Amino acid sequence: MAGDAGSIPELDQKKYDSGEQVKIICLGDSAVGKSKLMERFLMDEYRPQQLSTYALTLYKHTATVGNKTVAIDFWDTAGQERFQSMHPSYYHKAHACIMVFDVQRKITYKNLANWYKELREFRPEIPCCVVANKIDADLKVTQRSFNFGKKQGIPFYFVSAADGTNVVKMFREMITRAVEYKQNPSDFMDEVLQELENFDLEEKEDPEADEVGLKTESPELE
């Protein structure tokens, strides 16, 4: 059952700097089954939090990877994808990405290239996978060759949110890859964005500095 948006605290992405917090994002066209995949995987845990202010839905999950307990936030687009582009904050601090298309709609497969291009602009190195959803509608589709994943060197999964085929396997493997990436990050964009955050913090912590500067320059303005 969806949470009350009014009861949800402000979205603070700094929590993803913690070793126990992981962020996994989902990408893909509208109606490819992203939310249904979440529902199938989480089952009894399925309590999405809809953050209308940010046009996204969060799904929370706790997993054990190795000997470590990890809190995972799955981010879903909540309608933003209809604009064929996501806000940069959607990608910020993400540790893995699940890209979904509908095997019954060829255009959703073609659009993967656009989603992948945008993803790599913001998160050049995070692990990613391609998910072919709704195979239950026609199992013969699993005999077809979808080369996008192979071309990009990323894992490919045939799944069904309806009957559960490969859903748990895909999510568990992506959780493991997200945790591994977080332990050994390699995104230059992480460093750039962190520097910008630190710069903003320094400015906020020293508001009087601007006032002093203005007072110093004011005689020259007269």
Domain ranges, ordered by start, for the chain? 5-186, 188-222
- Using CA atoms, how far apart are residues 35 and 48, in angstroms rounded to an integer? 9
Q: pLDDT for 89-115, tens place per residue? A: 899 999 999 999 999 999 999 999 999
Please, what is the average pLDDT of the chain? 81
Query: What is the reported pLDDT for 57?
Result: 87
The answer to whether residue 140 scores a pLDDT higher than 60 is yes
Strands 21-27 and 156-158: unpaired
- Cβ atoms of 173 and 98 within 8 Å: the answer is no
- Using CA atoms, how far apart are residues 23 and 96, in angstroms rounded to an integer? 7
How confident is residue 85, by pLDDT bands cut at 50, 70 and 90?
Answer: confident
The answer to whether residue 205 scores a pLDDT higher than 80 is no
- Cβ atoms of 129 and 154 within 8 Å: the answer is yes
How confident is residue 14, by pLDDT bands cut at 50, 70 and 90?
Answer: confident
Query: What is the reported pLDDT for 56?
Result: 82
- Cβ atoms of 56 and 35 within 8 Å: the answer is no
DSSP 14-83: GGGGSTTEEEEEEE--TTSSHHHHHHHHHGGG---EEEGGGTEEEEEEEEEETTEEEEEEEEE-TTGGGG
Going 189 to 116 to 149 to 29, the CA torsion angle's sign is positive
- Other C-beta atoms lying within 10 Å of the C-beta of residue 177: 19
Identity of the residue numbered 92:
H
Q: Does an H or E element contain 132, and which?
A: strand 128-133
The answer to whether residue 83 scores a pLDDT higher than 90 is no
Which residues is 63 bridged to in the sheet?
70
How buried is residue 50: exposed, middle or buried, by Cβ count under 10 Å (0-12/13-18/19+)?
middle
Joined tokens for residue 61: 């999950």
CATH level 3 topology of 5-186: Rossmann fold (3.40.50)
Mean pLDDT lowest among 35-44, 183-192, 194-203, 209-218: 209-218
Query: What is the reported pLDDT for 20?
Result: 83
Query: What is the reported pLDDT for 17?
Result: 74
Query: What is the reported pLDDT for 13?
Result: 78
Picking from 138, 133, 128, 135, the residue whose alpha carbon sits closest to that of residue 38 is: 133
How confident is residue 18, by pLDDT bands cut at 50, 70 and 90?
Answer: low
pTM above 0.85, yes or no: no
The answer to whether residue 219 scores a pLDDT higher than 50 is no
Greater confidence, 57 or 7? 57
Mean pLDDT lowest among 180-184, 192-196, 211-215: 211-215
Q: pLDDT for 60-72, tens place per residue? A: 999 999 889 999 9
Query: What is the reported pLDDT for 8?
Result: 34
- Using CA atoms, how far apart are residues 79 and 77, in angstroms rounded to an integer? 6
Picking from 19, 177, 170, the residue whose alpha carbon sits closest to that of residue 95 is: 177
Q: What is the mean pLDDT of residues 121-134?
A: 97
